[in-house]
Amino acid sequence: MKIGFIGTGIMGRPMALNLIKAGHELLTWGRRFDTVEPLLVAGAMGKGTPAEVAASAEICFTVVSGTSDVEQVILGERGLVHGVKPGSVIVDMSTIAPSATRRIAAQLEVRGVDMLDAPVSGGQAGATQGTLSIMAGGKTEVFERVKPLFEIMGKNIVHVGDHGAGQVVKACNQIVVSLTLQGVAEAILLARKNGVDPTKMREALLDGYAGSKILEVHGLRMMNADYKPGFKVKLHHKDLGIVLDNASENHVPLPGTAIVAQQIEALMEAGDAELDSAAIMLALERLAG
Ligand code: NAP
């Protein structure tokens, strides 16, 4: 299949490479050559604009950063919308606001183009190994059409509802991830302050009810002070903004998430935007002196 792919960062690059490995023909565009180059080396064809990518592809994927980036790449001056053929599909796998994804889907529908919001969870490792969790929103028949491609990139693939539902589920995912990150950091701090080896604490907790992927992966990063991204603090900041804005629109109090958002805000202000979000440990260490 001829597939368009835009957004070749920490997540997008390995996802795109898996599609190439599975035998698909990839067309790509990027605003910087060095991010696109690894795909070209792997056999993808470079195009001059997103519109040119869309003109040659049956299905286009976007894995960029935030809401305004997705709007720019899809609806902007040289965006996918200016090349896309009626009957084709645009699948946005970035994490953006549910309301924005519904708006974009409505604008594409007018032109006879279908959209899915299909954000992911599972990090760089999941993207590389093709084991991402994919939460998709949109029409059932469009989901079924794209599913074989999702199966190359992910393992747990769930059609969660209509347009925007994928982004709502991703917001739910970020609530659980954020609060768990905070909990793991607090546990490590308390163990240390008591003179108890946090490595032993983590080992003891892993198989009980306190066990989680976050304790396993991010707990280790926190103990090693290894904050190479991964999932950048600035993206976590973006995601918590999406969660809290949506909660406010829907009159839902989220006190736990709001506290973690303040920790992430502190990291942003301290100049730690490019670190992995396990650096929430740093914010807590600073609070504890
Ligand atoms: P990243 O490493 O910063 O990569 C983002 C990519 O999108 C880069 O190639 C960037 O191009 C491109 N891009 C961003 N804005 C653009 C624009 N306006 N026009 C053209 N290209 C643009 O980010 P990532 O970690 O791969 O994350 C991508 C998405 O997946 C985000 O929505 C994030 O929240 C979500 N996500 C990330 C993780 C994770 O663990 N990292 C996990 C789940 C979901 P440049 O190189 O030119 O900047």
- Residue 153 shares a structural domain with residue 87: yes
CATH number at residue 128: 3.40.50.720
Beta bridge partners of 6: 29, 62
**Full-model pTM:** 0.97
Separation of CA 70 and ligand 1 centre (Å): 10
CB atoms within 10 A of CB 238: 21
- Same domain flag for 20 and 111: yes
Output the six-digit token pair for 232. 């950048």
Same domain, 172 and 157: no
- What CATH number is associated with residue 207? 1.10.1040.10
Q: Which helix (H) or strand (E) holds 220?
A: helix 213-223
> pLDDT tens string for the chain (289 positions)?
999 999 999 999 999 999 999 999 999 999 999 999 999 999 999 999 999 999 999 999 999 999 999 999 999 999 999 999 999 999 999 999 999 999 999 999 999 999 999 999 999 999 999 999 999 999 999 999 999 999 999 999 999 999 999 999 999 999 999 999 999 999 999 999 999 999 999 999 999 999 999 999 999 999 999 999 999 999 999 999 999 999 999 999 999 999 999 999 999 999 999 999 999 999 999 999 9
Q: Which domain-ending residue is among 144, 162, 180?
A: 162
Task: Check whether residue 16 and residue 36 sit in a common domain.
Answer: yes
Answer whether 104's CB lies under 8 Å from 92's CB.
yes
Same-domain check for residues 181 and 280: yes
229 lies in the same domain as 138: no
Other C-beta atoms closer than 10 Å to the C-beta of 228 total 9
> Where do we find the tokens 């907790």?
205
Q: What's the total number of domains in the chain?
A: 2
- Per the listing, tokens 């992927």 go with 213
Domain-terminating residue out of 121, 139, 162: 162
Among 162, 196, 213, give the residue marking a domain's end: 162
Q: Are residue 61 and residue 98 in the same domain, yes or no?
A: yes
Question: CA angle at residue 120 from 118 to 125, to 5 degrees?
Answer: 145
Q: Specify the pLDDT at position 134.
A: 98
Please state the three-class secondary structure of 147-208 as a single string: HHHHHHHEEEEEEEECCCHHHHHHHHHHHHHHHHHHHHHHHHHHHHHCCCCHHHHHHHHCCC
Distance CA 240, CA 197 (A): 31
As a whole number of angstroms, the distance between CA 74 and CA 51 comes to: 8
| Same-domain status, 83 and 185 | no
- Residue range of the domain that includes 78: 2-162
CA of 235 to the centre of ligand 1 (A): 8
Q: For residue 22, what is the DSSP state?
A: T
Specify whether 183 is located in the same domain as 158: no
Omega of the bond leading into 241 within 30 degrees of 0 (cis) = no
Is residue 36 located within the same domain as residue 150?
yes
**Tell me, what's the pLDDT at 9?**
96
Q: Are residues 237 and 282 in the same domain?
A: yes
Q: Are residues 132 and 232 in the same domain?
A: no
Pocket of ligand 1 (CB under 6 A): 7-12, 30-32, 35, 63-65, 69, 72-73, 94-95, 120-121, 123-124, 230-231, 235, 239
CA of 11 from ligand 1 middle (Å) equals 7
